[in-house]
Structure 1
Amino acid sequence: MQAIILAAGMGKRLKELTSNATKCMVEVNGEMMIHKTLMHLEKLNLNKIVLVVGYEGQQLMDYVNSLGLKTPVEYVVNDVYDKTNNIYSLYLAKEYLLQDDTLLLESDLVYEEAVIRKLVDTPYPSLVLVDKFESWMDGTCITVDEDDNITSFVSKREFDFTKTDEYYKTVNLYKFSKNFSEKYYVPFLEAYCNAMGLNEYYEQVLKVITFLGDLEIKAVKLNGEKWYEIDDVQDLDIAESLLAGKEEKLEKMQKRFGGYWRYPKLIDFCYLVNPYFPNKKLVSEMQTNFERLLGEYPSGMGVNSLIAAKIFGLHASQVIVGNGAAELIKSLMERFTGRLGMAFPTFQEYPNRKAEKDVVPYFVTNDEFRYTAKNLMDFYEDKDIEVLALINPDNPSGNYIRREDVLKLSEWCEKKNIRFVVDESFVDFVDEEETTTLLDAEILKANPNLIVVKSISKSYGVPGLRLGVLASSDEELIAEMKKDVAIWNINSFAEFYLQIYEKYAKDYAKAIEKFKQTRAAYIKDLQALSGLRVLPTQANYVLCEVTSGVTSRKLAEDLLEENILIKDLSTKKGFDGKNYIRLAVRDEKDNAILVEALKRYL
């Protein structure tokens, strides 16, 4: 068996990365793509490797020659790489296809060894390597029958997004038997080039061959093996996180702060949402209005304030809607020049908006990370702070201060002339008491120093819409913030969600009740695990101490290898390097997957 690698292209979409080198010489995690490919092929004891070069071809040949490969390497030069497509590169190497069984590879792929092994070790002589279609994939797709026979090749022009469940993406790694090349591929390759020209793709030849019916080529499906096609810098970024070494992968993934739909097999126990809302009917209503919302401007801040005021029982002059709570927190904290008081460990968005010298931390040092309103009043009694911020329930501890005590703390702050910010993004998940929220017009009026922040993303399960609200009876503050943020700071989809939410309020209440039942069962399962100390929580996450001897960092790295992302807290301020993790509460199915994985690693 031999390998043919197509490496003539210019890789223009990688911009400066390919200004002086061909695409396959771009590095992924410090290793050139061509080097990784050649090292995989070296282990296969091939008869030879044929490299079709073009753009910066001499540089590529010099590099490959310097590696001292034991496998013989031969070169084919495409001098018109800038005027042709990959069908011509393969056409130039067609005589090699007639000489031996062939692995055909494109050079802009990065993949683990198991990927090429799947192709080589599958005994059928001629194969197209495919993976289940996912949203990040681009290019040729196929459909297959129950016996993995290829039923059609689907071009970009024919692609139907309503049928993506049926599609498999070609990985651009193929195995052609010598017989298949002689009987089918090379004759059709020659005919296609003569008829259609040289600015085409070699997959089109396979598409034509499928019309013959009884093919001697099948699909072989990947099952979780990692690969990525590099076309631009975004692809490169994702590939580096997907294929990073175990120790680097966790850090790379956490630095993304979301966007995990690009990793469709990943189960995210790091970022926090409501697993049971919105329901299918609400989603269906938004889908029905998708085209109109996509093509029309949202309303301005004034209209959205009215919508939010209606939902939360406020006056429009008391509330501002944000592009996520984070936008509002940034605008709010910029209005304060004095020092900030907060309990630690906590949600870092507030202290990160201040210089370290302007943060006066109250470190919670007990094993349960519990604290009360009295603890805060006692600690800050003699401290010079302008603002006291309370996350309630706190993140990541899940500590909850009851509503009447929060109001006592508000009274204390007013007497001390301290602005009191209460972030109640997780308060809907509380089951300690029935009435929890401070988003109430009368409460705000009675507490002029009080500012309430709520993330819609977390409790209402719509983080992709980026919604949050901030409320206060300080109408001057609210007016200033409305001038600070953009007039169209939320999009039409987010506005429409707010507009229709009240129709689904009862469904939301049911979702919260279901969540509380799921959380109770989840905590019970976690408590049954040895090597894990589970702390009480009133939020949609659980703080746990890892006591098995494995570090929290190592546990997070191990779980990520199984496509499970958790939050390692060992480096978070307030934990002093201790082995704590935060686990989101998801639905029963996902929770069970995590619990089983924890059993193995603990």
Structure 2
Amino acid sequence: MQAIILAAGMGTRLKELTRNNTKCMIDISGKKLIDYTIDCLLKHNIRKIIIVTGYCDDNLENHLTIQYPTIPISFVNNPLYSQTNNIYSLFLAKEYLNEDDTILLESDLIFEEKIISRLLSDPYPNLSVVAPYQYWMSGTMVELDKERRITSFILKSAFEQTNTSQYYKTVNIHKFSKKFSRNRYIPFLEAYTKAFGNSQYYEEVLGILTQIEKTELKGLPLENEKWYEIDDVQDYQVAQTLFSAEKNILNNYKEHYGGYWRFPDMIDFCYLVNPFFPTKQILEEIKQFSITLLTSYPSGSQVNNRLAANFFNISPDCIVLANGASELIKALMNILRGKTGIIYPTFEEYPNCLEEQAKVCYTVNSDNFSYGSKDIKEYFEDKDISSLLLINPDNPSGNMIEKKQVLDLLLWAGERNIFMLLDESFIDFSGNGQEDTLLDNKIIQDNPHLAIIKSVSKSYGVPGIRLGILATSNKDIIDQVNKQLPIWNINSYGEFFMQIIDRYRNDYKQACIRFMEEREYIYSELCKITYLRVIPSKANYFLCEVTSQYSSKELTRKLLLEYNIFIKDCSDKKGIKNKEYVRVAIKDRFNNNKLLTALKMLRNENK
């Protein structure tokens, strides 16, 4: 068995990374991309390696000669690399392809070693490694029959979004027998390049073979193996995270702040959204109008503010709809003057907007991080604060103060001329959301020293749309916030969602009921994990103390590395620092069971 690696391309979409080097010479976590590939091949005793070079070939050849001095690597040069595509590179290596069974790889890949293990251990002689289609994938797709035989190659021009459930993405790793190469592939490769030139792709020849005869080529579908194709800068950043050194992997994931749909099969238990809303019907309605929404300007802020006012039954001059609660948090915290009372641990996006000298901090010391209005009043009674932040339910603890106590606290704040900022992003998960909220027009009108922020994205399960509201009867606050926001801060998808959501109020109530049932289930199951102490929560997450076996960081890292599950390590949060806590989002039953299974497996690991 030999390996042919195609490495002639320029990689122009990687911009500065390939200004003076070919793609496979970029570093991923401190190691050259080409070295990952060759080291993997060598571990499987593949020592006959042919590399087709082109752009910056001297750099590549010099590096490999130094890096692998005892390995006889053969080089085939493609002098027309800037004018041709990979069909010509393979055509130049056809004599090698004729000589032996071959693994054919493209050089812009990074992948787990077990992919090659599976490819070599599969007894079928002609295989293309493929992966079930996901949204982030592009390039050549294939379709398989029940026997894994490739029935068609779908190039970019033939791609149909409606058929993606049947598609597999080619990973660009293939295994060809010498017989298949000699008798089928090379003759067609030669004929195709003669007829259509050298600006095509070698997959097109494989596609023709599937069309004119019952092909000998089968697919090898991946399961949970990691791989990534690096075409552009964003691909490079994802690959850097996926293949991070173990000590760096958590920080690298955190630095993305979302976008985890680009990470194959990762289950996100870190970010907090409603798992049961929106419904399929809402999604279909948005999908139906998606082209119109994508190609149309949204309305201005005044129109969108009225949409939000109508839905939440708040006076239009008392509400601002924004591009997520985060946009409002920054705008509002920029306005506040004097010192702000902060209760730790908390959602740190608020205090991060303030200078240290502008914070007066109350750190909750109870075992469950629980507190009530009496605790808050006693602590801040003699403190010099002009505003008070209350997140209810709190993040990350899930602690909630009942409405009667919040109203008492609001009265206390008003008597002391303290502006009260209330975040109710998770109130709908409390169990009595409509009864618990202060997002009421009369309360807002009667208390100009109150401002309420609510993340619509979290509550209604649409974080990709980015929606949040600020409600207050303080006209000066409303005016100052509006001045900081552009006229088109909401996109058309967000506007359309606010336009139609009123018709789905009952569906939303049912989703919240379903959520509470799921919260009870996962709470009871998490309590069975012997190394966790689970803190009761009125939100859509649980804060858990890691009491034995692992540190919080170790548990978070193990879940990510071994099970592709991402939870929140809270050991570095203020108010929790140097204690072992993790936060776990609540998802649907299927994914919750995946988490529970992983936690149980880790429980048994040290037995």
Q: Judge same fold: TM > 0.5, yes or no.
A: yes
Q: How do 1:543-558 residues align onto structure 2 when only pairs under 5 Å count?
A: 543-558=543-558
Distance 1:45 1:293 in 2: 54
Q: CA deviation at 1:264?
A: 4.0
| Counterpart residue number, 2:565 | 564
Tell me, yes or no, if the aligned pair for 2:335 and 2:480 is still in contact at 8 Å.
no
- Partner SS state of residue 287, structure 2: helix
Distance 2:434 2:89 in 1: 70
Q: Which amino acid aligns with 1:494?
A: G
Task: Give the AA of the match of 1:139.
Answer: G
Task: Tell me, yes or no, if the aligned pair for 2:129 and 2:172 is still in contact at 8 Å.
Answer: yes
Encode CA deviations 1:240-272: one digit per residue, 9 max, x unaligned: 111223332222112211111112411111111
Does the alignment pair 1:396 with 2:396? Answer: yes
Q: Which residue of 2 aligns with 1:586?
A: 587
Which residue of structure 2 lines up, in the alignment, with residue 56 of structure 1? 56
Give 5+ residue unaligned stretches, structure 1: none
Q: What code does the residue aligned with 2:498 have?
A: L
Question: Is the 1:42–1:70 Cα contact (8 Å) retained in structure 2?
Answer: no
- How far apart, in 2, do the equivalents of 1:209 and 1:596 lie? 44
Distance 1:58 1:295 in 2: 47
Question: How far apart are the structure 2 equivalents of 1:432 and 1:368?
Answer: 21
Cα distance in 2, alignment partners of residues 506 and 401 from structure 1:
26
Structure 1 stretch displaced more, 255-264 or 151-160: 255-264
Partner AA of 2:370 in structure 1: R
Amino acid of the residue matched to residue 601 of structure 1? L
Verify the 8 A CA contact 2:149 2:216 in the aligned structure 1.
Answer: no
Looking at structure 1, the residues matched to 404 and 497 of structure 2 have their Cα atoms a distance apart, in angstroms, of 32
1:69 to partner: Cα distance: 4.7
Alpha-carbon RMSD across the aligned residues, in angstroms, is 1.3
3-state secondary structure, aligned to 2:335: coil
What is aligned with 2:465?
465
Aligned to 2:202: 202
Whether the 8 Å contact between 1:42 and 1:69 is mirrored in structure 2 is no
Structure 2 alignment gaps of length 5 or more: none
Answer yes or no: is 1:377 the counterpart of 2:381.
Answer: no
Specify the code of the residue in structure 1 equivalent to 2:91.
Y
Give the equivalent residue in structure 2 for 1:596. 597
Task: Note if contact 1:46-1:71 (Cα within 8 Å) is conserved in structure 2.
Answer: no
Deviations 1:225-246 (A, max 9, x none): 1111111110000011112233
- Secondary structure of the equivalent of 1:346? coil
Determine whether 1:72 maps to 2:72: yes
What code does the residue aligned with 2:569 have? Answer: D
CA distance in 2, matches of 1:196, 1:340: 71
- Asked if 2 retains the 8 angstrom alpha-carbon contact of 1:518 and 1:587, the reply is yes
Q: Which moved more, 1:446-455 or 1:115-124?
A: 115-124
| Residue 134 (structure 1) aligns with | 134
- Asked whether 1:323 is paired with 2:323, we answer yes
1:225 aligns with 2:222: no
Q: Normalising to structure 2: TM-score of the pair?
A: 0.97
List structure 1 runs of 4+ shifted beyond 6 angstroms. none
Distance 1:478 1:585, change over 3 A: same
Distance 1:217 1:372, change over 3 A: same
Q: Is the alpha carbon distance of 1:35 and 1:201 closer, same or farther for their aligned partners in structure 2, counting shifts above 3 Å? A: same
Distance 1:242 1:220, change over 3 A: same
CA distance in structure 1 between the aligned counterparts of 2:47 and 2:298, rounded to whole angstroms: 63
> 3-state DSSP class of the match of 1:271?
coil
Q: Give % identity.
A: 48
Report the Cα distance in structure 1 between the residues aligned to 2:595 and 2:557, rounded to whole angstroms. 14
Q: CA deviation at 1:465?
A: 0.9
Q: How many residues end up aligned between the 2 structures?
A: 602
Q: Distance in 1 between matches of 2:214 and 2:282?
A: 47
Contact kept, 8 Å, 1:45 with 1:71, in 2: the verdict is no
- Map 1:403-442; keep pairs closer than 5 Å: 403-431=403-431, 435-442=435-442
Deviation at 1:361, TM superposition (A): 0.8
1:257-309 deviations in Å (ceiling 9; x for gaps): 11111124111111111111111112121111212212211111111111111
Show CA shifts across 1:429-473 (max 9, x none). Answer: 112686111111111122110111111011111111100100111
Q: What TM-score, normalized to structure 1?
A: 0.98
Deviations 1:500-556 (A, max 9, x none): 111110111111111111111111111122111111111111111111231111111
* Contact 2:226–2:264 (8 Å) recurs in 1: no
| CA shift for structure 1 position 2 | 1.1
CA distance in 1, matches of 2:590, 2:47: 48
Note if contact 1:425-1:456 (Cα within 8 Å) is conserved in structure 2: yes
Deviation at 1:348, TM superposition (A): 0.6
SS at match of 2:556: helix
> For residues 47 and 380 of structure 1, what CA distance do their matches in structure 2 show?
71
